[in-house]
């Protein structure tokens, strides 16, 4: 599938994770990446996982990636919120993350901790609706 046809659901890329992927690709001397899970969510195709691998593919000038349709039942409310954050920040395609590659400690604070807080807030909101 075309990389630019898929909406990211993540605001940052860990530079350490990216370096690991790039080293792995350099060792194999091939630009073969595992299938990236995607999902149609509210009439658009979104990444479910694999942002770092897709970003590495982008850095290697690939325009198409292998994908697979996600069949697990995940928390799609969380993904909707993440897509909303991405759109608010102007992250519409994977290349929009090029200025958002950050040190892993910053990735922890800026992305992972933000997601953890969102999950807690969603859980509280769901419990108060019961």
The pLDDT value recorded for residue 32 is 74
The pLDDT value recorded for residue 47 is 98
Mean pLDDT by 10 residues, the chain (130 residues): 97 97 81 89 95 94 94 92 97 98 98 96 86
What's the CA gap between 14 and 11, in Å, rounded?
10
Rounded to two decimals, the pTM is: 0.92
**Nearest to 1, CA basis, from 70, 62, 85, 83:** 62
Structure tokens at 6: 């898929």
What CATH number did the domain enclosing 43 receive? Answer: 3.90.1530.30
**Nearest to 1, CA basis, from 52, 66, 47, 73:** 66
Q: Which domain holds residue 18?
A: 3-129
The pLDDT value recorded for residue 3 is 97
DSSP string of 55-117? HHHHHTT--B--EEE--S---HHHHHHHHHHHHHTT--SGGGGTT-EE-HHHHIIIIIHHHHH
The pLDDT value recorded for residue 26 is 81
Structure tokens at 53: 């691998």
Domain count, the chain: 1
């Amino acid at each position: 599938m075309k990389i630019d046809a898929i909406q990211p659901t993540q605001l940052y890329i860990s530079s350490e994770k990216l370096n690991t992927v790039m080293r792995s690709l350099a060792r194999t001397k091939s630009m073969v990446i595992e299938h990236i899970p995607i999902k149609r969510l509210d009439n658009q195709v979104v990444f479910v996982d694999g942002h770092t691998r897709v970003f590495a593919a982008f850095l290697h000038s690939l325009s198409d990636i292998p994908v697979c349709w996600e069949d697990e039942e995940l928390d799609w409310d969380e993904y909707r919120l993440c897509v909303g954050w991405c759109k608010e920040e102007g992250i519409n395609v994977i290349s929009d993350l090029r200025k958002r590659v950050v040190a892993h400690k910053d990735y922890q604070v800026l992305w992972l901790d933000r997601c953890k807080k969102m999950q807690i807030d969603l859980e509280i909101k769901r419990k108060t609706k019961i």
